[in-house]
Structure 1
Amino acid sequence: MKKQWWKEAVVYEIYPISFKDSNGDGIGDLRGIISKLDYLKDLGVDVIWICPIYQSPGQDNGYDISDYYAIKPQFGTMEDFDKLLKQAHDREIKIMMDLVLNHTSDEHPWFIESRSSKTSPKRDFYIWRDGKHGLFPNNWESYFGGSVWQLDEKTGQYYMHLYSKYQPDLNWQNDEMIHEVYKMIRWWLKKGVDGFRFDAIAHIVKAKGLPDAENPNHLEVVQANQFFSNLEHVHDLLRKLNEEVLMGSDIMTVGETSGLGPEQALEYVGNERHELNMVFQFEHMTLDSPSTGTARWETRSWTLPELKKIMTHWQTALHNKGWNANYLGNHDQPRQVSRFGNDKEYRVESAKMLATFLLTLEGTPYIYQGEEIGMTNTSFQHIEDYKDIETLNFYKLSQLQQVPEEKTMAAIHKKSRDNARTPMQWDASENAGFSDGKPWIKVNHNYKEVNVEAALKDPNSIYHYYRKLIALRKQHQVMVYGEYTLLLPLDPDLYVYTRTLDKECLLVILNFSRDTVEFEWPDELAYDSGELLIANYEQQPGENEKKKTLRPYEARVYKLVQQSSHTMIH
């Protein structure tokens, strides 16, 4: 397997508006990030992924870009960005930008020009169509609810938006538009950025003719992902982007690609494809939802064997063929300890267990801000306290459908993107040390107990456990490049696997339950002895060599010594 720096890196995602405010306006900014670079260096991360900081009206918290070449004033200036880039590089921390190429803001000069008339030179920078019989051009549903089409009264045509009406989709069949995108990416590379996370990149190509989706229930709009997700021409465009812009730059790239399995992912990240280094997969993010669309707000119970099946498929299908991007939470998902762990009586233990899981899988691990101190979901009582456009749209739709308020708010408490967007909890002072002013969104109520200052002082904190895990990953190449093998696939409580590289082998044992569980070393696992590298509980002396008692959410990682006459896994 070819070694690459981005395979060995640990990435830390920053949602700037919520990370650290330096000037008291209640909004996180670039100088706030600069002030915390030493904190991130001490944690051990190698790359900071910064969510969009470009000029934007903020209809979707920066994912609606109105100027790719400018920093939004609330975040600071381009001089602030240059200072951040230099000071991060001085600490051997790389910077990865979040780049939105599927759409722009409706306030972008390209779109303003495009909508000015049907004969505008930039008309075809975006996707415009006439309506059919007084209805939308087709019946596709937006990710944020409602039709993907918005009528522009001036020209009488509709423009497409897979997300909100403030985010018109770019037309990737227009060579002049593509040329302008290339020019912009080259500009950022010349500045010295170290990589890009390509937002919604799987959606930049739409099906020819924009056909209607099948509509058995005769709804006005329906999910039509098959017509705008992971279509073949996406790969042609990505290969061309690499050939003409990215090749020759030693950067990392990761794509947001929903709706695919590992075999499809290899079309993006296969070693010989020359498209992306890795992609974010979403299969494990849908475990607790019956389906996509508005149904994603519903909750279903899931089992550990289901999670094992998904993760194992990705771990094994990509081994030696491509590369994984591993994450359990981000700015679009609920907090990982609230979703996959136990954020009440076992918050610390389960947060450490999930950290062990994340850092011992094959692939580049992505830590989302606050995970290293075990930040949890919030539960604001009033809808007015929520800011996320997707959450507010869901609430409005629920009101129209006369869904009981209590049921709607319960769904929001579990699934809202704002769960991950509350301010970073730095200390127990007012506003959690995030800002001297009124934060743009309320702080989670538990900030006095859950904060960085308290975590730094406690040698047994989640933060210090992350530090140890990251340090171990840097010391043991097997944690980066080792082959993953699942054990006990049907066990309802324990997730157990090995990582093997040459003669080195790690055994990872994770208890995903609130119960005490007995674990007996499988006979097929041949070893002379095992050295405990890390665990999230103090270990009990005199424990049986073969049988282990795993406490609630306990995690252990052993380095095994191979028997000379056996292979590690039979």
Structure 2
Amino acid sequence: MIGQSRAASAAQTGTGRAWWKEAVIYEIYPRSFKDSNGDGIGDLPGILEKLPYIRDLGVDTIWLAPIFQSPNRDNGYDISDYRAIMPEFGTMDDFERLMAKASSLGIRIIMDLVVNHTSDQHPWFQKSRASKDSPYRDYYIWRDSAQGHPPNNWPSVWGGSAWAFEPETASSYLHLFSPQQPDLNWDNPAVREEVFSIMKFWLDKGVSGFRMDVITMISKMPSFRDMTPEELKAPEYVYAAGPHLHTYLREMNDRVLSHYDVMTVGEAYGMHAQDIPLFTDSARRELDMVFAFDIVHVDRQGWRKVAWPLSKLKEIYAAAGRPRSPDSWNTVFLDNHDQPRAVSRFGNDSAPFREVSAKAIGTMLLTQCGTPFIYQGEELGMTNLPFDGLDDFEDVQVPLQWDTRVKRQGVDPDAFLESLKGLGRDNARSPMQWDASRHAGFTTAEKPWYRVNPNYTEINAQDCVSNAGSVYHYFRDLIALRRKYPALIYGTYQDQDPDHSAVFFYSRQLESSKILILINMSDRGFTYDTPLLARASLLLSNMRHRGVTQDVTWLAPWEARVYRA
């Protein structure tokens, strides 16, 4: 129940169980989900209209990407008013109607908390930049400087300097991302009070928690020294090493979060896997979960898209499956608004393998250790977009990256563009494909805010819902299976064949209940026999096998099976 304290919730469970550990969370990127008023932009009434679709999938929690007032330089991740709804998305009344309808359907909503930085249009920043004597000056991070001579050599994560010069006050402000996203000064207690007040505002409206954008970067290195050449290769690890990070998270928990039965998931950008327990061990009173990036970085080296062996994926999941602390919890995701489409990345989005491989990697997503996050359209097997050139990209970071990599560093433009096509964030941001009508049923406008993937006539929700053998229905079955067998939520993890180059075979076990998951992660079929399946019964398969299957030794390309041992 909203408003119940965490202490009371923990006392009731007593076993470390929690609703957010058992949840299946569905991320909605509002701008691209469903347009209800024909302006080409998704909105809150459009989300409300589609809540039954989400409920029927079996999802019980929605993560809303930012819906706050914003000039939209970074599609809502540059906030100018934390207590107002972006007019393109609707009104506060629309939000409250969405909350009420979701609650009636048994669906919780978590919000995106973006408090490492604001928009440069936020009143705080407008007052901060006006004068060195402004009471808001210390809400942000300023250093005296001359034009063309930033205070240090820190780079923006997206390219170029992390400092923007303001001639009116002969000083520069810090922005770890775009110049339109100035970083807040969390060392100022007044800033922390503002953030805590914003959090209470939304929690008191009934939201069930927060996804916290780049929360690992809120504490800055106090000396602001130059980075070494080695540090400049991966500056995000410097930005995430601020000395007060954990102090500020504990303060947030003590002041706000501990007074509500809610969940928190932090974007752990710049953190190493071994540091995760520092955030998620419940005894430390910081966060419930974090998004680690090991899996979604398996196919990239810097800006380059690279081939990846299955062994690397197995190693990451095996490490995640080992208890890191007495009550640490994982997230499981392959896809989100910042990542390319999962089937295009981890599966094979070409015929005849798209559907079966989307089901195979969906099997992996929903049977690993931790709370699974599904991104809109993943349950349909939506694919990456086709891109012809640089002008096809909408993402604010693309021109910054192009300027840094190609113009300044001399990276081959064709090679950079090719990697951008496979790894770019725009792949996930094309409109949701609802049906085979014009603009995929996303909008009745003459032109949507961003282009629709041309394969929408073949891949859309209407077709998937009406087809019992679709990716959508397979996701439904997986979610139902996860809820039926607690071993798939709370069970231990064991890789049963870590050396096989194509088969991912692992188990989840809780007391005497043991589930075996077998996935062929390749385009080729082969014979695979193991005594572990001799007495196992098949619960689910993307090839629609049924019954006891000890005689089935042939694994078709991308075949996935879930057994009860």
Aligned with 2:374 (options 367, 375, 397): 367
Q: Which residue is equivalent to 2:10?
A: none
In the alignment, the residues of structure 1 paired with residue 138 and residue 42 of structure 2 have an alpha-carbon distance, to the nearest angstrom, of 36
Q: Which residue is equivalent to 2:7?
A: none
Shift of 1:539: 2.6
Q: Could you tell me which amino acid in structure 2 is paired with residue 436 of structure 1?
A: T
- Per-residue deviation, residues 139-175 of structure 1 (Å, max 9, x unmatched): 1111110110000111110100000000000001000
**Does 1:411 find its partner at 2:419?**
yes
In the alignment, the residues of structure 2 paired with residue 250 and residue 540 of structure 1 have an alpha-carbon distance, to the nearest angstrom, of 41
In the alignment, the residues of structure 2 paired with residue 317 and residue 59 of structure 1 have an alpha-carbon distance, to the nearest angstrom, of 40
In the alignment, the residues of structure 2 paired with residue 133 and residue 472 of structure 1 have an alpha-carbon distance, to the nearest angstrom, of 60
In the alignment, the residues of structure 1 paired with residue 536 and residue 546 of structure 2 have an alpha-carbon distance, to the nearest angstrom, of 15
Gaps of 5+ in 1: 561-570
In the alignment, the residues of structure 1 paired with residue 234 and residue 444 of structure 2 have an alpha-carbon distance, to the nearest angstrom, of 44
- Per-residue deviation, residues 377-429 of structure 1 (Å, max 9, x unmatched): 00122432321011232334455256555434322211110000000000011
Matches for 1:27-38 after TM superposition, within 5 Å: 27-38=41-52
Aligned with 2:201 (options 167, 182, 187): 187
Q: Could you tell me which amino acid in structure 1 is paired with residue 277 of structure 2?
A: L
Shift of 1:134: 5.8
Aligned with 2:288 (options 277, 287, 292): 277
In the alignment, the residues of structure 1 paired with residue 549 and residue 538 of structure 2 have an alpha-carbon distance, to the nearest angstrom, of 12
Q: Which residue is equivalent to 2:514?
A: 505
Q: Which residue is equivalent to 2:40?
A: 26
In the alignment, the residues of structure 1 paired with residue 506 and residue 325 of structure 2 have an alpha-carbon distance, to the nearest angstrom, of 15
Shift of 1:354: 0.7
Shift of 1:48: 0.4
Aligned with 2:451 (options 411, 436, 442): 442
Shift of 1:226: 3.6
- Partner of 2:256, secondary structure, is helix
- Per-residue deviation, residues 450-506 of structure 1 (Å, max 9, x unmatched): 000110111100000001111111111111101111111111101111100010000
**Does 1:420 find its partner at 2:431?**
no
Shift of 1:181: 1.1
Q: Retained in 1: the 8 A contact 2:72–2:78?
A: yes
Aligned with 1:340 (options 328, 340, 346): 346
- Per-residue deviation, residues 232-271 of structure 1 (Å, max 9, x unmatched): 4211111111111111200011000023333310000012
Q: 1:122 to 1:549 in 2, by over 3 A?
A: same
In the alignment, the residues of structure 2 paired with residue 226 and residue 485 of structure 1 have an alpha-carbon distance, to the nearest angstrom, of 30
In the alignment, the residues of structure 2 paired with residue 216 and residue 72 of structure 1 have an alpha-carbon distance, to the nearest angstrom, of 41
Shift of 1:324: 0.4
**Does 1:238 find its partner at 2:267?**
no
Aligned with 1:471 (options 465, 480, 503): 480
In the alignment, the residues of structure 1 paired with residue 280 and residue 469 of structure 2 have an alpha-carbon distance, to the nearest angstrom, of 38
Q: Retained in 2: the 8 A contact 1:482–1:500?
A: yes
Q: Could you tell me which amino acid in structure 2 is paired with residue 185 of structure 1?
A: M
Q: Which residue is equivalent to 1:430?
A: 438
Shift of 1:356: 0.6
Aligned with 1:548 (options 524, 544, 553): 553
Q: Which residue is equivalent to 1:376?
A: 383
Aligned with 1:107 (options 108, 121, 130): 121
Aligned with 1:70 (options 84, 95, 102): 84
Matches for 1:221-236 after TM superposition, within 5 Å: 223-236=234-247
Shift of 1:549: 1.5
Aligned with 2:563 (options 558, 561, 564): 558
Seq. identity, %: 46
In the alignment, the residues of structure 2 paired with residue 133 and residue 26 of structure 1 have an alpha-carbon distance, to the nearest angstrom, of 41
Q: Retained in 2: the 8 A contact 1:140–1:222?
A: no
Q: Could you tell me which amino acid in structure 2 is paired with residue 289 of structure 1?
A: R
In the alignment, the residues of structure 1 paired with residue 221 and residue 259 of structure 2 have an alpha-carbon distance, to the nearest angstrom, of 32
- Partner of 2:322, secondary structure, is helix
Q: Retained in 1: the 8 A contact 2:155–2:162?
A: yes
In the alignment, the residues of structure 1 paired with residue 152 and residue 176 of structure 2 have an alpha-carbon distance, to the nearest angstrom, of 13
Q: Which residue is equivalent to 1:457?
A: 466
Aligned with 2:258 (options 243, 247, 251): 247
- Partner of 2:283, secondary structure, is coil
CA RMSD of aligned residues (A): 1.8
- Partner of 1:520, secondary structure, is coil
Gaps of 5+ in 2: 1-14
Aligned with 1:140 (options 146, 150, 154): 154
Q: Which residue is equivalent to 2:5?
A: none
Q: Could you tell me which amino acid in structure 2 is paired with residue 159 of structure 1?
A: Y
Greater mean deviation of Cα atoms: 367-376 or 315-324: 315-324
- Partner of 1:253, secondary structure, is strand
Greater mean deviation of Cα atoms: 319-328 or 480-489: 319-328
Q: Could you tell me which amino acid in structure 2 is paired with residue 411 of structure 1?
A: S
Aligned with 2:63 (options 49, 72, 75): 49
**Does 1:17 find its partner at 2:31?**
yes
Shift of 1:299: 1.5
Q: 1:490 to 1:180 in 2, by over 3 A?
A: same
- Partner of 2:204, secondary structure, is helix
Q: What is the TM-score normalised by the length of structure 2?
A: 0.94
Shift of 1:529: 1.8
Q: Could you tell me which amino acid in structure 1 is paired with residue 563 of structure 2?
A: Y
Q: Could you tell me which amino acid in structure 1 is paired with residue 479 of structure 2?
A: I
Aligned with 1:158 (options 157, 168, 172): 172
Aligned with 2:399 (options 392, 401, 417): 392
Q: 1:318 to 1:222 in 2, by over 3 A?
A: closer
In the alignment, the residues of structure 2 paired with residue 536 and residue 232 of structure 1 have an alpha-carbon distance, to the nearest angstrom, of 48
In the alignment, the residues of structure 2 paired with residue 186 and residue 299 of structure 1 have an alpha-carbon distance, to the nearest angstrom, of 41
Q: Which residue is equivalent to 2:337?
A: 331
**Does 1:256 find its partner at 2:267?**
yes
- Partner of 1:529, secondary structure, is coil
**Does 1:529 find its partner at 2:535?**
yes
Q: Which residue is equivalent to 2:9?
A: none
Q: Retained in 2: the 8 A contact 1:56–1:72?
A: yes
In the alignment, the residues of structure 2 paired with residue 230 and residue 366 of structure 1 have an alpha-carbon distance, to the nearest angstrom, of 27
Aligned residues: 548
Q: Which residue is equivalent to 1:564?
A: none
Shift of 1:369: 0.2
